[in-house]
Amino acid sequence: MVFALLIAAILWNLGTWWLGLPASSSHTMVGSIIGVGIANQLLMPHTGTSGVDWDQCIKVLKALLISPLIGFVFAGMLILLAKQVAKYPELYEAPKDNTPPPFPIRALMVGTCTGVSFFHGSNDGQKGMGLIMLILIGTVPTAYALNHAVSPAQVQSYIVASESAGQILQRHAEPTAALTTNARQTVTDYIRTKQLQPTTILALRKLIVDTTHEIGLYKQYKSVPPQEQANVRNNMYVASEALRLMLKDNNPAFTPDERKALESYKAKADNATKFIPTWVKVAVALALGLGTMVGWKRIVVTVGERIGKDHLTYAQGASAGLIAMGTIFAADKFGLPVSTTHILSSGVAGTMAANGNGLRFATIRNIAAGWVFTLPAAALLSGTLYFLFRLI
């Protein structure tokens, strides 16, 4: 699944880059994940870990749809405001050949472009880190299934929180409920259906207690036997996800103190399973920077010269950059993946429209076509590759 979605995303991004189209790596990645999720659901029995969480998908797709509109409208408004406030003629002129701009304008451009790059990394970098961790957890679970950097004292704190969570769940369990299936399977079914069954809470308690007992035998996550690391991780991950849904729906109705104790357990479980080593962060940052250095020119020419009928001015570039920074920053705070490419391209188009420069509709059409077709094309490509890989 991981390699199918990676190869699909790389192929689509390379194709759009070759054509000079500012396509969205975020769209591509979301489409690729949806494609392998649907393919997996068609090929495998329905479980809580197959298929697609459509609630999350709709949330992501709304962000990907609305953010370019925000870029277009607000960048257009900002350039109109700048004309009223900043009476500096050179701001509203296009670059002349290779002549460098005056120092104040150069400082403005370096500042806004650096800001866009920073926030682009803060959003897009997380996708790369997540994918690398998927690969590491799938291929070398002994080293990366559990966070070996967690100290023995933190493990002991997790055990205490687990015992408290088990007692709370015991109070809310159905008195007459009796488990007839595997505890993790019962909890996984709840994650898939989001329907609380009489045995769900009992199964969740058993999953937490059994996992805690196993971890308690070894005192540290890195001491858990290699053949058990992936199993322990899966138990903790499933328990955390089930608690997230219960707390979100307030079903069962936990008291404020109970919610606090369960959230404490969930945070400690997530610390063991949802982590990213520093070297992965550095590697992704370097890849983003080097990729921009190598492949910048085709996209830069499209954004700077082909969206509007006139060349982009300094003020237009700064306006589009400032709006892109703000929009991506807001998306970061809400945990939403957005497309820097589409926000920035839409911002440039907004400044062109507001400035009366006119738009090159052939370029706009091509960018819009890439925006519309990227997600379904990436989904189809990744789903097909996943199907083919399973045959090998």
Strand partners, 308: 359
> H helices of 86-193, where?
103-139, 141-144, 152-172, 183-193
* Secondary structure E strands in the chain: none
Q: Is it the case that residue 142 has pLDDT exceeding 60? A: yes
Domain boundaries, the chain: 2-140+277-391, 148-273
Distance set, CA 132 to CA 124, 276, 384 (Å): 13, 9, 22
Residue 47: pLDDT band (50, 70, 90) is low
Is the previous residue joined to 68 through a cis bond, with omega within 30 degrees of 0?
no
What are the phi and psi torsion angles at 359 (to 5°)?
-115, 145
**Mean pLDDT, rounded, for 316-338:** 91
**Mean pLDDT, rounded, for 50-79:** 86
Residue 311: pLDDT band (50, 70, 90) is confident
Q: Is it the case that residue 259 has pLDDT exceeding 90? A: yes
CA distance 34 to 4: 11
Residue 200: pLDDT band (50, 70, 90) is very high
**Mean pLDDT, rounded, for 9-37:** 84
CA distance 31 to 33: 5
Q: Is it the case that residue 207 has pLDDT exceeding 90? A: yes
Predicted pLDDT at 50: 60
